Amino acid sequence: MVEIRAAAGKDAGAIAQVHVASWRTTYAGIVPEAYLASLKEAEREVSWREWLTLDVDVFVAELEGEVVGFVSGGAIREPVEGFDAELFAIYLLREAQRRGIGTALLGRLAGSLKARGFRSMMAWVLEDNSSGGFYSRSGGVRVASKEMDVGGVMLPVVAYGWKDLEAIWKGVGAV
């Protein structure tokens, strides 16, 4: 059984492990291999320890006591018209994918952001990310595009937007 819970400082190492492992599997062939190889869990753990002290919502998914995924979000960082919140990151270990865990994480974040007074949410996603269908299936619609530097290479990214957080939250059974 999967448990979705608010992340705490003690989770920084597990989140870093999921973050690095997910980048290496999700972005292989998209992001420069040298960049993926350079990712260090210890460095990400330091970043996550700091990130967990900020005004952001972070939730982890635990399966049999092990963190297998996470989601983070908060106030939008770069204005996109019609949206006030942003899904910063959602990552799952490969073996935890296609089991409804990502949908549960998305729903938990949407419910939390709605409770904080946000109405809508968007997420920047690498255009070549094979997980793009996840955003569409969850009701996200492409609303913008740009290029982003990842590992010294400019890559196309698209913004998926949800105009109504409550629709996401209710759509996944108010996790």
Q: What is the pLDDT of residues 16-29, one digit of tens each?
A: 999 999 999 999 99
pLDDT (tens digit per residue) in 68-116: 999 999 999 999 999 999 999 999 999 888 888 999 999 999 999 999 9
Q: Measure the CA–CA gap between 80 and 95, rounded to whole angstroms.
A: 33
26 and 91 in contact (C-beta within 8 Å)?
A: yes
Q: Is 2-171 in CATH node 3.40.630.30?
A: yes
Using a cut of 0.85, tell me whether the model's pTM lies above it.
yes
Q: Measure the CA–CA gap between 142 and 122, rounded to whole angstroms.
A: 9
The mean of the pLDDT values for the chain is 92
SS3 content of the chain, % helix, strand, coil (to 5): 40, 35, 30
pLDDT of residue 173: 47
The order of strands in the sheet holding 66-75 is 2-6, 57-63, 66-75, 85-92, 121-126, 153-162, 141-150
Provide the CA 167 distance to its chain's centre, in angstroms. 18
pLDDT of residue 109: 96
Structural domain spans, the chain: 2-171
pLDDT over threshold 70, residue 148: yes
pLDDT of residue 174: 41
